[in-house]
Amino acid sequence: MIGIDVVNPEIKVITSKGDSFEIQGDSSGNYSLTISLSYDTLTAIVSVFAENQMTLNEKFYLILDSDTTIRLNLSMAPQEVCFDSFLPSPLFFEFNSLTIKDSSLTHSLEKFCSSTSQEFLDDALKLKSGIVIYCVQGFYEKDGIAQKRAEYINELIKSHKTLKDNFEIEVVNRDDYFYCTHCDGCFEYYKYGQGINLDNKTIKANPQLDQLRQLVEIKWKGNKN
């Protein structure tokens, strides 16, 4: 009998004699397995697999008599998944254009907005409260280009089963925009808060930075409470 603090774990037992047994636990993590072993079986390795948990492997030394009952209580560590790594990189556009500068990122965006991302997004949105997509225009670009980029993104997303009900678009025309790819998330380097405020004053002093505003950036809204 094994008790495990997860739902419906999959358990595999392999003995030192090479015998192998598998069973699935119930909704409380409990299961009972009756097996026949030869008296000279010295050890057994119990492997446990469960959704969103680290795989657990435990080795046990056996002292066998007839009708031996072994009871084990195991705890599993949650598996840490950094969903930030699955979001497309910031998408920089050609000047006054709907063309993404890096063509490989066009494919990444289309894949993210397709059914291939369905399972990942379903899992992510168990923790995250949604997605915000920032569509930004440069100060030197024509009025309305940020809105056109928003329409381009909306067209990709509107038929996606999960995304269509869990995203919002923010259009940034000539408002200030703080560009920072290392400010939010679960990677260690996010805590340093690197970034730059792409306001009118900064762009006038450094016109070359205006291309950083020719941007679509996809971010999580935050964790659910």
Tens of pLDDT along the chain (225 residues) come to 344 445 667 777 888 888 888 877 776 666 677 777 777 777 777 777 765 555 666 777 776 666 666 666 666 555 555 666 677 888 999 999 999 998 888 888 888 888 888 888 887 888 788 889 999 999 999 999 999 999 999 988 887 888 888 889 999 999 999 887 656 556 555 555 567 889 999 999 999 999 999 999 988 887 776
Which residues fall within 8 angstroms of residue 219, CB to CB, at 6 or more apart? 87, 131, 132, 133, 134, 184
β pairing state of 43-49 and 56-61: antiparallel
Domain presence at residue 178: yes
Last residue of a domain, one of 48, 74, 100: 74
Is the same domain home to 113 and 179? Answer: yes
**Distance between alpha carbon 99 and the CA centroid of its chain, in Å?**
27
Distance CA 124, CA 86 (A): 10
Is the same domain home to 68 and 151? Answer: no
Domain presence at residue 38: yes
Is the same domain home to 37 and 131? Answer: no
**Distance between alpha carbon 135 and the CA centroid of its chain, in Å?**
22
In this structure, what token pair is assigned to residue 79?
A: 């598996």
Domain presence at residue 141: yes
Is the same domain home to 70 and 176? Answer: no
Is the same domain home to 96 and 70? Answer: no
Residue position matching structure tokens 């680290």: 54
Is the same domain home to 120 and 191? Answer: yes
pLDDT at 56 (0 to 100): 67
pLDDT at 137 (0 to 100): 95
Is the same domain home to 188 and 87? Answer: yes
Phi/psi-derived region of residue 18, left when phi > 0, alpha when psi is between -120 and 50, beta in every other case: left
Is the same domain home to 125 and 211? Answer: yes
Is the same domain home to 48 and 150? Answer: no
Is the same domain home to 124 and 207? Answer: yes
Q: How many CA atoms, within 13 angstroms, populate the side-chain half-sphere of residue 178? A: 7
Is the same domain home to 142 and 100? Answer: yes
202 vs 6, 122, 179, 190, CA distance in Å?
52, 39, 12, 23
Last residue of a domain, one of 43, 74, 105: 74
- The values of phi and psi at residue 69, to 5°, are -110, 130
Domain presence at residue 225: no
Domain of 69, CATH number, reads 2.60.40
Count of structural domains within the chain: 2
Is the same domain home to 65 and 88? Answer: no
**Distance between alpha carbon 178 and the CA centroid of its chain, in Å?**
24
Distance CA 117, CA 164 (A): 13
What is the residue range of 136's domain?
83-220
pLDDT at 180 (0 to 100): 79
Closest C-alpha among 137, 125, 54, 52 to residue 87: 125
